[in-house]
Amino acid sequence: MVVFLVTLTSLIVYSNILIASYDKNSYETRLSIIREYGVTIANNLSVLGVINKDTITDFESEIKYFSNMYDGRTLVIDKNLRVLFDTFGLEKDKTLISEDAIASLGGRESIYRNKIKNYVELILPINNQNDKSVIGMLVFSFSLKAPSSIGEKLSYTAVTILVIIAAIALIIAFIYAFGISKAINKLSLEIDKITDGNIDEISSVYGYTELENISLSFNKMLSKAKKLEGSRQEFVSNVSHELKTPMTSMKVLADALLSQPDASIEMYKEFMIDINNEIERENIIINDLLSLVKFEKKAESINIKTTDLNELLEQILKRLRPIAVKNHVELVFESFRAVSAEVDEVKLSSAISNLIENAIKYNKEDGWVRVSLNADHKFFFVKIVDSGIGIPAEFQDQIFERFYRVDKARSRGTGGTGLGLSITKSVVMMHHGEIRLYSKENDGTTFTIRIPLSYIPPKKYKDKKKGGGLKLVRL
């Protein structure tokens, strides 16, 4: 109905403009012809110097001919407003009393159009050629019925065409509306299937670009939802497994002790050390989970203050240096300039510590880890480069996922929970920064963190994402 009404309104407006334009042009054309002829007669009469019955006799036949040709009436009036000649012969020798006629004695042309009776009246003054005084006037009264009849035919034709086009538009509009309604209903049924629990991809709705785009967007959303659901299930499974493993080990150790009532003190001590280690492992897992949940909360919980990053990194390296010495790894810090930034010191320290500690633990014998700090006018950069075992290309997309470990056996041997990199990414994103990974198997790994020097509050932060998030480059 909207398409039909818009089309109908447009046609009506166009028809009215067309008819009005024709009426105006026909009127102006007829008036121009009358004026041109009247000026010619007035100029011829002005040569006589005086207007009376005798002087106009030679022009009467010509005036009658012109008036008959255009279905009109012409009066010749002297300066006393007495009618000297009337092509109809009705007003001869009478006095014309008219405001327009009196005004014409002052030398002014007068035009009057009567749209009801459909005629036009033109009064032209006749000026003495010598002193330009008014010696009379010509009054032309011409019918506009002939051009009006053509306008009426044009109007009738326009209405006929309008009705035909409107009918066609109505049919096309209903066909289009039926087609798009059918497509929308199909899309609605597909969405209902999703509501009922079937999260398979919906069938694409073809024929309408917008609906095709909606279908594609829904399928992308479903794909994302499937991936998130898979991640959620895997996360729950991993959490359950990670929490259950230490508990199982402790139960086995406790059962072993209970089954040996005459066990020696040395055995009790050995078993209690193992149980204590499992409790510590359980504690690490729970703390990492709590940290992950805390870091993924809204940024309102972030504690921002201006921090000396050089001092922060030196403290981190001092704390991790004993681990590096134990693993026979050289730990080097390079600072290109003094850098201060608005960050959450505790959270950022945890994130960078995770990266450096991983670089130490997954390194080679007599390897090295280089940590560098730099900045430009807008961002600061922390780069951690190691000579370690590297990360295979096929695993680089998953390393920031919770509990994901490239080598699960080796990770457990080094005490990892698989949550460190996930926590690191959450902290970097909380600061509206990005983290990049460059790695090649058996050839070391490079992590680069880029974070704005000035913290942007969430309400003012516009997610323009100039490369924000995680970027992987396979070497």
Kindly give the pairing relationship between strand 134-143 and strand 340-343.
Answer: unpaired
Clarify whether residues 419 and 283 are in a common domain.
Answer: no
CA–CA separation, 224 and 227 (whole Å): 5
The answer to whether residue 411 scores a pLDDT higher than 60 is: no
Picking from 377, 227, 350, 253, the residue whose alpha carbon sits closest to that of residue 295 is 350
CA–CA separation, 105 and 98 (whole Å): 11
CA–CA separation, 6 and 221 (whole Å): 36
Under 8 Å between Cβ of 353 and 317: no
What CATH number does residue 251 fall under?
1.10.287.130
What CATH number does residue 105 fall under?
3.30.450.20
**What's the whole-number mean pLDDT along residues 180-184?**
79
Instruction: Examine residue 191 and state whether it is found in any structural domain, yes or no.
Output: no
The answer to whether residue 467 scores a pLDDT higher than 50 is: no
Domain residues for the domain of 40 are 2-150
- Max CA separation in the chain (angstroms): 162
Predicted pLDDT at 295 = 59
* Phi, then psi, of 115 in degrees rounded to 5: -75, -25
> What would the pLDDT profile of 147-167 be if each residue is shown by its tens digit?
667 767 777 787 888 888 888
Predicted pLDDT at 447 = 93
Instruction: Examine residue 23 and state whether it is found in any structural domain, yes or no.
Output: yes
**What's the whole-number mean pLDDT along residues 327-351?**
90
Clarify whether residues 308 and 426 are in a common domain.
Answer: yes
The answer to whether residue 464 scores a pLDDT higher than 60 is: no
Report how many domains make up the chain: 3
Predicted pLDDT at 21 = 83
Strand order in the sheet with 134-143: 83-86, 72-78, 134-143, 119-127, 110-114
Clarify whether residues 90 and 112 are in a common domain.
Answer: yes
Instruction: Examine residue 326 and state whether it is found in any structural domain, yes or no.
Output: yes
Highest mean pLDDT among 225-239, 315-329, 368-382: 368-382
Distances (CA, A) of 118 to 31, 35, 147, 403: 13, 18, 10, 93
CA–CA separation, 380 and 309 (whole Å): 9
Predicted pLDDT at 26 = 81
Decide: pTM greater than 0.85. Answer: no
Clarify whether residues 337 and 381 are in a common domain.
Answer: yes
Phi-psi region of 432 (alpha: psi -120 to 50; beta: other; left: phi over 0): left
Under 8 Å between Cβ of 216 and 204: yes
Clarify whether residues 403 and 387 are in a common domain.
Answer: yes
Picking from 244, 381, 215, 238, the residue whose alpha carbon sits closest to that of residue 309 is 381
The residue out of 133, 150, 167 marking a domain boundary is 150
- Name which residue leads in pLDDT, 474 or 191: 191
Residues 6+ apart with CB under 8 A from 337: 374, 375
CA–CA separation, 379 and 339 (whole Å): 10
Highest mean pLDDT among 124-133, 152-161, 318-327: 318-327
Q: Is 242 helix (H, G, I), strand (E, B) or coil?
A: helix
Clarify whether residues 380 and 448 are in a common domain.
Answer: yes
Predicted pLDDT at 461 = 56
Clarify whether residues 112 and 236 are in a common domain.
Answer: no
> What would the pLDDT profile of 265-316 be if each residue is shown by its tens digit?
888 888 888 888 778 877 877 776 776 666 555 444 678 899 999 999 999 9
Clarify whether residues 426 and 302 are in a common domain.
Answer: yes
What CATH number does residue 413 fall under?
3.30.565.10
Highest mean pLDDT among 57-71, 195-209, 428-442: 428-442
CA–CA separation, 86 and 139 (whole Å): 9
Picking from 429, 434, 433, 443, the residue whose alpha carbon sits closest to that of residue 474 is 443
The residue out of 293, 313, 334 marking a domain boundary is 293
